[in-house]
Structures are given as structure tokens and as C-alpha cells.
Amino acid sequence: MKGWMGKFKGLFLLGSLALVLSACGQENLTALEPKGYGAEKALDLIILTTVVMLFVLVIVMLIYTAVLLRYRKKKGQENYIPKQVEGNKALETIWTVIPIILLIIIAVPTVTATFDLADETGASDHLNIQVTGNQYWWHFNYEGQEIQTSQDLYIPAGEKVYLNMKSSDVIHSFWVPSISGKMDVNPENENTMFIEAYEEGVYWGKCAELCGPSHSLMDFKVVVVSQEEFDQWVEDMKNVDPKAQPQDAVAQEGQALFQENNCMGCHAIGSSPAAVGPNLTNFGSRSKIAGILEPTKENLVRWIMDPEEIKPGNKMTGNYPDVSEEEADKIAEYLLQLEPSEITPEDAGK
Ligand code: HEC
Ligand SMILES: [Cu+2]
């Protein structure tokens, strides 16, 4: 009985694992359908090493089966002792040389790709973006331009973009699986990585280093648009007037409440570098709220009322006066109309 139960348990585990892992194939979040330079290099190496390993597995299994069949103890030969062999130069040479060749086949492209992906010599000819990892959100500062943004990183398709990354608190790791590999984001030193996305689209990014209770919610997006769209986005973002009055009367009240409730202490609108919290310049165009929630008014009110319920341990909780639902609703109305550019994640084919 217990044996059967055990078998069922195994089957159940396998089934649920298959179910859970099938979500790993999500479009725009999988390293197995590369849409960028680094991810493509990585997949080539994954395929190469898998082929080499399968080759070894097949050969070893063939020899193993052949030996099992051929040299098993046969009826009537119970007392037969086969010829005793001690060392065979030819065999030993073969099984030393073949693994060396296989390792060289893996090592040469791996080392080449490593140097290629770490190459920073052309950095000054390309767009450079300062990336800051924070518990539990990402900030992007376009170097040499008056643009600061958070959560959604806009880049042009088909262009190398250099990311100079640092953390404001603990170690994070920047990872957009379908575009490139991971890079540690440390508090002490800056790490640089370039990314190049081939196609327009919205690619999902993850923090890949355990950084606190909401680590798994530290999502962001890379919004890849055409060069023309990108140029327009840059223009629009540069020309933002942070104090602009909204048209709508409710949104105007929201703006006043946003100022009264200390929100401005942590959230900049425009290119000011204040960075305790995400920059909200183009908040109305966000693909998600706080990196994870669908961008609806309802969700935004939920966030403003109780961010702790959504992201435990975040640095906004408790640091602003209580706002009523009515007030939160007005603030939401204000924040959602902050759409300085027509270029949004929808243009990138969200
Ligand atoms: C003490 C600093 C601080 C104050 C004050 C503060 N926030 Fe925040 N806020 C944060 C931080 C930090 C985050 C990011 C949380 C996370 O994702 O971990 C955040 C996130 C947000 C987000 C999501 C942003 C995005 O890009 O998706 C919104 C919206 C927001 N806050 C609105 C407000 C409003 C409205 C107020 C005033 C009532 C306010 N905040 C006051 C620090 C603050
Ligand atoms: Cu993190």
C-alpha cells in the first residue's frame, strides 16, 4: 500500500512540476527564444554543450549495453574466469584524448563569447544608461540627456545600449532572459553590460539575486521601439513640464493632494534626480504598476492605500500620511494622466 502511495506521490509531483515549469516558456521571458544578441550567444552555447553531452551519453550507454549483453554470466559457464587484463595503452589514450577534444570544442566558443559580451571598448559611441537597482524597483538615467525614468526601460531596436549598473542598497541582478544574460548589480562598484534587442516588443526583466522579501516581485520591462519612435520619446520626455496642470478638475485635486501628502518627497516628476522612489514622469504609460500590477485605476488606488499588502518590505509603506480612498482615487486620476509621450509599451507591441 505504502509503495503505491509513494508511486502516486512521485507522479503527482512530476505532474505539478510540469505544470509549473510550463509557465517558464512564456513569450518575452524565455531564454530559449532569443530576441537579442546576448541571449542568442547564450542559446548557441546551451545547444552546443547539450549536443556534446548527449553524444557522450549515447556512446557510453551503447558501450554499457553491449558489455552487459556480451559479457554476462552464461549458463554452464558458472566457473569460467575470463582473461585478466591490466592496462591497455590504446584504450587509455582514447578515453583521455576524446574528453580533451570535447572540452576544447566547448571551451573555445564559450571563452570567445565571454570576451565578446564583456567588451566595453565601443561604449562611448553608443547610448549609455545608468541603471540603479533598489529594493524592489529599477531606475534608469539616460546619460548626457535630461531623462530619468523607472520600471520601464525604453531602448531603440537593433542598437547596442550600454548599461552602467549600481545598487543603492543590497546586491541585485539585472536579467532580461530573452535579450541577454545576467549581470550583478552591486552597491560598491559599477558593472557594465551591453544589450542589443533585435525586434520591437516588451520584454520582461527580473531581479535574479535574492534581495529581500519582495525580491520575486522586483520585475521590470524593456520596451524596445524603432529608432524613430525612440527619438520621439526622448524629445517628449525632455520637454516635460513637471508642474503642468492637468485638464481634468478631479486630476487637478489629485495633483494638489500629491503635493500635500509628501509624495513629492520621494517621487520626482520630470528630470530631477530625486530617487527614493520611482520617477513618475510617464507613469500613465507604465506597462505595470510597481512592476507587477495591471495598470488600472483600481490597482493604483489599492497600491496607494496599502503598498505593504502588495510588496512586503517596500520602502514606501508607513512613510506618508494616511490617505482616504477618496483621496487616493483623486491622486490616481492625476497620476494616470501623466502621459508625456505617445510612444508607450503598446507601440512596441505589448
Ligand atoms: C518614503 C518615500 C515615499 C513616499 C513618501 C511615497 N512613496 Fe510611493 N513609492 C516609494 C517607493 C520606494 C516605491 C517603490 C516600491 C517598490 O516597488 O518596491 C514607490 C512606488 C510608488 C508607485 C508605483 C510606481 C511605479 O513606477 O510603478 C506609486 C504610483 C506611488 N509610489 C505613489 C505614491 C503616492 C501617491 C504617494 C503619496 C501619497 C507616495 N507614493 C509616497 C516611496 C515613496
Ligand atoms: Cu533585487
Give the position, in ligand 1's atom list, of the atom nearest the Cα of 283. 26
Nearest CA to ligand 1 atom 37: 263
Q: How far is the CA of 169 from the centre of ligand 2 (A)?
A: 9
Question: How many Cβ atoms are within 10 Å of 283's Cβ, its own excluded?
Answer: 24
- Residue of 320, 319, 303 whose CA lies nearest to 258: 320
Q: Is domain 249-336 classified as CATH 3.30.420.60?
A: no
Q: Give the span between the Cα atoms of 215 and 243, in whole angstroms.
A: 34
Q: CB burial class (10 A; 0-12, 13-18, 19+) of residue 345?
A: buried
pLDDT bin (cut points 50, 70, 90) of residue 3 is low
pLDDT of residue 1: 46
pLDDT of residue 25: 62
Average pLDDT, the chain: 92
pLDDT bin (cut points 50, 70, 90) of residue 58 is very high
- pTM score > 0.85 for this model? yes
Task: Give the tens place of pLDDT for each residue, 210-267.
Answer: 999 999 999 999 999 999 999 999 999 999 998 899 999 999 999 999 999 999 999 9
pLDDT of residue 271: 87
Query: What percent of the chain has a predicted confidence (pLDDT) above 70?
Result: 95
List all residues whose CB is within 6 A of at least one atom of ligand 1.
136-137, 150-151, 258, 261-263, 265-267, 276-278, 283, 286, 289-291, 303-304, 311, 314-316, 319-320, 323, 331, 335
- The mean pLDDT value for 127-152 works out to 95
pLDDT of residue 78: 82
23, pLDDT greater than 60: no
- The mean pLDDT value for 309-316 works out to 96
**Residue in the structure block whose three cell numbers are 480612498:** 325
User: What's the maximum distance between 2 C-alpha atoms anywhere in the chain?
Assistant: 100
Asked, as a colleague might, if the bond just before 162 is cis with ω within 30 of 0, I would say no
pLDDT of residue 20: 64
335, pLDDT greater than 90: yes
Q: Give the span between the Cα atoms of 167 and 130, in whole angstroms.
A: 11
- The mean pLDDT value for 183-192 works out to 96
Q: Would you say 323 and 304 are in contact if contact means Cβ atoms under 8 Å apart?
A: yes
Query: What percent of the chain has a predicted confidence (pLDDT) above 90?
Result: 79
pLDDT bin (cut points 50, 70, 90) of residue 2 is low
**Residue in the structure block whose three cell numbers are 490616481:** 332
- The mean pLDDT value for 188-209 works out to 96
